[in-house]
Every structure is written in structure tokens, then in C-alpha cells.
Amino acid sequence: MSTRLTPEQLRSHRWFGADDLRSFGHRSRIKQIGYSEEDFAGKPVIAIINTWSDINPCHFHFKDRVEAIKRGVIQAGGFPLELPAIALAENFQKPSTMMYRNFLSMETEELLRSYPIDGAVLMGGCDKTSPALVMGATSADYPAIFFPAGPMMKGCWKGNVLGSGSDTWKYWDELRAGNITECDWRDIENGIARTPGHCMTMGTASTMTSAVEALGLCLPGAASIPATMADHSRMAAECGRTIVDAVWADRRPSSILTREAVENAAVTVLSLGGSTNAIIHLIAIARRAGIAFSAEDFEEFAARVPLLANIRPAGTHLMEDYYDAGGLLAQLKNLRSLLNTDALTINGRTLGENIEVSDHCDTDVIRTMDDPVTSVPALKVLKGNLCPDGAIVKPSTVNPQRMVHRGRALVFDNYADLKARIDDPDLDVDETTVLVLRGAGPVGAPGMPEWGMLPIPKKLLEAGVRDMVRISDARMSGTSYGTCVLHVSPESAVGGPLAVVRTGDEISLDIPNGTLDVVLSESEMEARRQQLVAPDFSADRGFVKLYRTHVEQAHLGCDFDFLAGVGNPEPEIW
């Protein structure tokens, strides 16, 4: 017999249903807003955590969608309350939205815990918003459903389809190589992002919304619906109806986020050719749910999971095509032999039951297991004296000639140094040089920005070079590509080996064998370590200070050291 709560068992009953002085205050003040007993008495209170803001183009339709969600909540007999939270607009926020991910997770957890909330709809999609909202809701552990923003429609320039991020990098290189004009570049600027919605390539946004759906926290099919379609509004209302039912059924994140669910998300990300950022985010989400999950766990699946989504940057299409081809549900149906289909989802059904209804109608956009886009693994974890706690690379976007490489390091101490020197015509560099960027990790930057696809030096671009081996303690956008070794851990700012590498040292990369080393003796590395001067962060204040003091390294998910696990049970006295 499945659980059904009574109105007296709702958490919000303590605020609105009790018969005491405090509840008098709560009821009189909610009535001050204009609500009556008919609106709230005995009903589940649903928080709609809305990451809308004037500066987030990916969430620009959330002002409308929130009304559809409220409609669904009311239809199902709930009481919706919209609670705004920090927007994390990927393209605008410096030094990186990653520095704010944990803060949005804290804000989410605290909003849910401190107010009379029974369940939540989490409105996100732009890169870090999805993991942040899910991390916060996992720690709060009240019933929660994720509402994905949906991808924007395709871009266009002179008949060429444009995809966010990927085509920005591509045409930027062509501009610097002199192959397109400033006027072309301006036209591309006007044509690359034309509707609300998140990036429509397989960047971090599409990767993470799909991962959250595979975790079981979305309605089936929700992650693939383009932002501006009518289907998206209908899905919003259905989210509202579903969360009310999930509250009565007491269906909490802790009953959904099992190890099997995390494995489903990892398999999904790999089969999408998804963003490397997903590794950090899924490790962090898993740790909030009390599940130990590592990059090595990801890698184990990578050897078995083929790339099925033919979407840029690893493939050729965009999210709009993917939706029309059947979307994530169709892909999961193709993948079902690798999934834990018994995993519970937020609608009360299993993942297997959810994917059973899907239709697959384009075998180019969504491939079958025996006809993948590529069987080159989507992820490789590297270990060696340059990355004792690991580094990662995305072999599916690596130039095959660079899979095994030895070359001379050219070291940039930080991003400012890189920007100042990379296009210097006198830079001592050729296509075999290994570009190294340090000072770009979680503590160093801070926030581990997406600087990991280091630009190719201008003089090499003009000579036709489009890929080189690049190594950093940074992340890389999911829309980026190339032979980029990322997430080197521990990072240079905390004394990791990247800090002792010097220009001219020989670097050895072997992706098939999973190694990354600097050709130096341990005694030489130790001697150099003794000379290191720790970076001075004494001028830090506010969020930056809190972040630098408590952030963990990339291989642990970059969460704060005080946030792992589910929150404390709340005292009845509150």
C-alpha cells in the first residue's frame, strides 16, 4: 500500500493548520497578500524556485512558465508560492557561474527548509543552475521536481546552421585566421542566439537537464522540449500537478537518488557525448545523497557506452532536431540494456516504465546501439605525476594524432598571462608544444572557469593548426572540443604538481593508457616544490572568501566541505 499523507501530516500544517499564536500570525500574513483559507487550508504548499532574471536569456521565458506551473499546482489542489533565487547566467557572471553553484544550492536548501514548504518545483537549465538546484533539494530532502528550461531554437548565418558555443569557437578561429570578415562575425553575433532557452548544442545545459531526467527528478521527456514550444508550457503545468501528488505520496529525493539512479545519469551523459562538467556535478549531487561516486566510476561505463546522440560538438545536429527525433526518452529506450530500469522516478513510475512509451523516428540523430556516432569513449581519466588525483579528457573530440604525445611545455601562470602572450608573434611555439595553463582551478581562479580550451596561438592558426595538446586545472565548456586535458587535481593554487612545471619541461600524454606525466625526477619536483610561494588570498571577502576557504578539489565535485549529505532533521520547536 503506497504512502498517502493526511493534511495534518503536511509540514506546512505547523505554520497554517495549528491552533496557536504563531499560526495566527502566519495565516493573517498570508491573508495580507490576498489569499483566503480556500487557497491554502489543508493544501500542500509548493515552492517554485525560479531562477529567472533580466540578465539570464536562457531563462527568459520563466516569467510565463511559472504561471503554467502555478496553474498545474492549483488544478491538483496545491498552494503555489514563487520563490526567486540567484539566476546564474552563464554568459555574464564572472569569474564563473561555477563559483556560485554551491551558493545557489545553499539558497535552495535554506529557502525550502526555512519556509512552510511541502514540495518544490525547481526551475533551471542554464549550466550550473540544474546541479545547484538539485544539490540543494537533495540536502533539504522534501519532494522536488526539476523543470528544465529547454533548449533555444537553432541559429543561422547565411544558410549555415549555428549552434551555441561550438560555432562561436569555430568562427572565432576563422576570424583570427583571416578566413571571415568583421562583418561576417557581426552577422554571426546576430544569428547565433535567437529565442529564449539554454544552449542548443550538447553543452552543459542539455547534458545536465538530461542527467537530471535520467536521475528520475523530471517528468519523462521534459529535458528535450525546446523552450519556446507549446509542449513546454504544457509540461510546466504537468510539473505543477505532479509535485502535488509527489507530496501526498511523500516521494522524496532520498527515495529516488540511489546509486542506481546516479549510474543511469552517468550512462546517459556518456551516451550523449555530454559536457565534462557533468562529471563534477554528478559527483557533487551523489555526495549530497550520501553516495560515493568518482570519475573512475564514470570511466568504467565509458568503455561500454556508445555515443548515440548525433549532436554538436561531438556530432552534427542540434537539440531541436533531437526533440523531433524522439528526444531523450527515445535514446534511453535504445540504451535500456545498460540502464537500471527499476529506478523510481518522481512521477511514481520506474525509469523503465517511463521510457517504454517513447517513439524513435530518426536513426541519424538518435543512433542505435549497433550504429553509434562513435565508439571512441566519451571520457578518459588520466593519472600520473602531473595529476595524482586525476585529470580528464574527452577522447571523442581529440585529434587522433594527439592521443599519444610528447612535447615541450609552454606554461602560462594564469589567465591574464595567457591573454597577454598567446598571440605574440614572437611566442616560441609550434604545433607539438604542450600549452599549460595553471592558476585556473577551484581555488586559484576562483571557481574553476571554462578556460580549458586554451586558444591556439594566432601564428599557428594562420598556418592552419586547429588543435594542440592543452593542459589546465580549469574546466571546459560542454560546447568546446580538442585535445584538452582538464580538471588537473590537485590544482596549482593548493600546491599541485602543475605549480612546479616550467616552460621547456617535457610532457608525456598517453590517453589510451590513461597517463599524464612531466618528465622530471621526484627529487627535482620536490626541490621545486620547496621554492613555491603560496598565492596570497588575504584580500578576499564575502562569497569569494567563503568559496576559497571551503571548496573541495575537482575529483570530489567542488562542493563545500561542510555540505556533503542530507541536512539535519528539523527540530519541532521551530
Instruction: For the sheet with 144-148, list strands across it.
Output: 79-84, 45-50, 119-124, 144-148
Q: Looking at 32-40, 45-53, 198-206, 492-500, which segment touches ligand FES (CB under 6 A)?
A: 198-206
DSSP string, 462-504: HTT----EEEESS---TT--SSEEB--SS-GGGT-GGGG--TT
Q: Which region, left, alpha or beta, applies to residue 53 given φ > 0 means left and ψ of -120 to 50 means alpha?
A: beta
Identity of the residue, 78 or 155, whose beta carbon is nearer to Mg ion in the bound complex: 155
Q: Are 253 and 290 in contact (CB under 8 A)?
A: no
Say whether residue 58 binds ligand FES (CB under 6 A): yes
Q: Which of ligand FES, Mg ion, none lies near 73, with the C-beta cut-off 5 to 8 A by kind?
A: none
Q: Which of Mg ion, ligand FES, none lies near 321, with the C-beta cut-off 5 to 8 A by kind?
A: none
Nearest distance in Å: CB 87, ligand FES: 10
Nearest distance in Å: CB 124, ligand FES: 10
Residue type, 232: H
b/e code 26-37 from CB counts within 10 Å (16+ = b): bbeebeeeeeee
Residues 6+ apart with CB under 8 A from 13: 7
Q: Which of ligand FES, Mg ion, none lies near 51, with the C-beta cut-off 5 to 8 A by kind?
A: none
Identity of the residue, 127 or 297, whose beta carbon is nearer to Mg ion in the bound complex: 127
- Cα angle 269-272-276, degrees, rounded to a multiple of 5: 50
Identity of the residue, 127 or 245, whose beta carbon is nearer to Mg ion in the bound complex: 127
Among the listed residues 537, 481, 571, 433, the one whose alpha carbon sits nearest the alpha carbon of residue 113: 571
Q: Looking at 66, 145, 199, 218, which residue binds ligand FES (CB under 6 A)?
A: 199
Identity of the residue, 124 or 377, whose beta carbon is nearer to ligand FES in the bound complex: 124
C-alpha cell at 115: 519556509
CB neighbours (10 Å) of residue 181?
10
Nearest distance in Å: CB 348, ligand FES: 30
Nearest distance in Å: CB 196, Mg ion: 16
Q: Looking at 124, 131, 203, 372, which residue binds ligand FES (CB under 6 A)?
A: 203
Q: Which region, left, alpha or beta, applies to residue 178 given φ > 0 means left and ψ of -120 to 50 means alpha?
A: left
Site for ligand FES in 320-359 (CB under 6 A): none
Residue 396: exposed, middle, or buried by beta-carbon count in 10 A (0-12, 13-18, 19+)?
buried
Say whether residue 396 binds Mg ion (CB under 5 A): no
* Pairing relationship of beta strands 45-50 and 119-124 according to DSSP bridges: parallel
Identity of the residue, 90 or 552, whose beta carbon is nearer to ligand FES in the bound complex: 90
Nearest distance in Å: CB 61, ligand FES: 13
Identity of the residue, 126 or 398, whose beta carbon is nearer to ligand FES in the bound complex: 126
Q: Looking at 196-204, 446-454, 492-500, 559-567, which segment touches ligand FES (CB under 6 A)?
A: 196-204
Over the window 182 to 221, marking each residue x when it contacts Mg ion by CB under 5 A and - when it does not, the resulting string is ---------------------xx-----------------
Say whether residue 477 binds Mg ion (CB under 5 A): yes
* Residue indicated by cell numbers 499564536: 21
Nearest distance in Å: CB 251, Mg ion: 31
Residue 21: exposed, middle, or buried by beta-carbon count in 10 A (0-12, 13-18, 19+)?
exposed
d(CA 548, CA 551): 6
Q: Are 198 and 165 in contact (CB under 8 A)?
A: no
| Count of residues near ligand FES by CB under 6 A | 10
Among the listed residues 207, 211, 213, 215, the one whose alpha carbon sits nearest the alpha carbon of residue 255: 215
Q: Are 271 and 309 in contact (CB under 8 A)?
A: yes
Q: Which of Mg ion, ligand FES, none lies near 477, with the C-beta cut-off 5 to 8 A by kind?
A: Mg ion
Say whether residue 167 binds ligand FES (CB under 6 A): no
Nearest distance in Å: CB 68, Mg ion: 26
Identity of the residue, 277 or 396, whose beta carbon is nearer to ligand FES in the bound complex: 277
Q: Looking at 82, 107, 127, 299, which residue binds Mg ion (CB under 5 A)?
A: 127
Site for ligand FES in 119-148 (CB under 6 A): 126-127
Identity of the residue, 124 or 441, whose beta carbon is nearer to ligand FES in the bound complex: 124
Could you tell me which residues are beta bridge partners of residue 121? Answer: 48, 145
Identity of the residue, 111 or 199, whose beta carbon is nearer to ligand FES in the bound complex: 199
Positions touching ligand FES (CB under 6 A) are: 58, 90-91, 126-127, 164, 198-199, 203, 205
Positions touching Mg ion (CB under 5 A) are: 127, 203-204, 477
